[in-house]
Amino acid sequence: MDRATWDDELARCYPRVLRALVGVSGSRVEAEDALHGAIEAALRPGVLGRIEHSDAWLFGVGTRILGRARWRRRLEIALEHVGVAPRMDDRVIDRLLLEHLLRGLTQRQRAVIVARYYMDLTHAQIATALRMREGTVSATLHQALQRLRQRAREEPGTWQIES
C-alpha cells in the first residue's frame, strides 16, 4: 500500500477503529493514544507495504498497545479509576447497559466481541489482528457470549441476549 492509499484508508477507517478501541478499553483517551501509536507503527519504513486490511491491522496493533499500557499502569499504580462520560443521544441507556455488560469480560473477550460484532471482521481477520489462532478466536467469542448472556439474565433491567 502506498502513502496516498494509506491516507485515504486511514480517513475512512479512523472513526470506526477509534470507537472499537474505546469499546475495548472503556476510555476514549486510552483508545486515542493506542490508535495514534498504531498509526506511528504503520508509518515506519517497510510496514505500509505489508498491511492488507488497514482497519484490522490498526485494531490489532491498537489492542496490543492497550494491553501493554494496562500492564505498565498496573506496575506503577495499584488502583486507577478513570471514567469517560458517554455522549448523550437517543441510545444512551442501551450504550450504558452494553458498557456495563462488557466490563464483565476480560480485555481479550472484549476485543474479540468488538472486532466481530462492531467491526464485522471475520474469525481469520480477528486471529491475524490479535495474533491468535482461529480456534482461540472462536472459543473466546463463545465464552464471551455465554458470559454476556449470563450477566444479562442475572441483572434486572438489562436486555435478554438471544442464543
Which domains are delineated in the chain? 3-154 (1.20.140.160)
DSSP per-residue string spanning 9-65: HHHHHHHHHHHHHHHHHS-HHHHHHHHHHHHHHHTSTTTGGG-S-HHHHHHHHHHHH
Is the pLDDT confidence value at 36 over 90? yes
* Cβ atoms 47, 33 nearer than 8 A: no
* Cβ atoms 141, 112 nearer than 8 A: yes
Q: Which region, left, alpha or beta, applies to residue 86 given φ > 0 means left and ψ of -120 to 50 means alpha? A: beta
Q: Can you read off the three cell numbers belonging to residue 93?
A: 441507556
Name residue 69's amino acid: A
In tens, the pLDDT along 48-70 reads 888 989 999 999 999 989 887 77
In tens, the pLDDT along 104-156 reads 888 899 889 888 887 888 899 889 888 899 999 999 999 998 888 888 777 65
% of the chain exceeding 70 in pLDDT: 77
Backbone angles phi, psi at 147, to 5 degrees: -65, -45
